[in-house]
Every structure is written in C-alpha cells, then in structure tokens.
Amino acid sequence: FPVMFRLYGAYAVSGTGGYTTTLSGNDTEVDYEGFNSTILGASYTGLPFVAINFEMVNFEWDEDEDGNDVSNEWSHYLLSVSLPINL
C-alpha cells in the first residue's frame, strides 16, 4: 500500500562556507568554519505522484576564517511540492 505520510531528518556534523553581505554600499565576504545544520521534514502524498513537503532548517556556526569565536544561527521554513520518483 502507498505511504501517504513521511517524516525525515538530516544533520550535517561539520562544514565550511561563506556568504557576501552589503553594508553601507560595500560588499564584504564572510567565511566560516565549524558549521552544522539540522533539517526536519514532513511530507504528504495525497495525489498520485505529487508530494507536499514542509521542512524546518536550522544553520549555525561557531568560528570565522581567522579562528575567532563567533555565534551565528539562523533558521527558515520551506513549503514545497515535489514529484517523487524511485529509481
């Protein structure tokens, strides 16, 4: 029988990354280390071949490229529609 509900999660243990921000008209690049993230999601498949997904994503890092301790964290929510295909 088809599975109509699905719960899933993911955890990234460690990583590096970066972003560019604009302050007072000047672009500043920020690189960071000690990055980790958590993703929790739920999916509902009520129509054939179409799934509605909801995810909660949390990112945080604790060190910049120079080794300074920083504490940055952000999160967002994602609502999407997908076409799950099993290969």
| The model's pTM | 0.63
Distance in angstroms (rounded) separating the CA atoms of residues 69 and 61 = 9
Confidence check: pLDDT of 1 > 60:
no
- Give yes or no for a contact between 39 and 53, defined as CB atoms under 8 angstroms apart: no
pLDDT value of residue 64: 66
pLDDT in tens, 2-14: 678 999 999 887 7
Between 52 and 86, where is the model more confident? 52
pLDDT in tens, 31-78: 777 778 899 999 998 877 888 999 999 988 777 666 677 777 889 999
How long, in residues, is the chain?
A: 87
Confidence check: pLDDT of 22 > 70:
yes
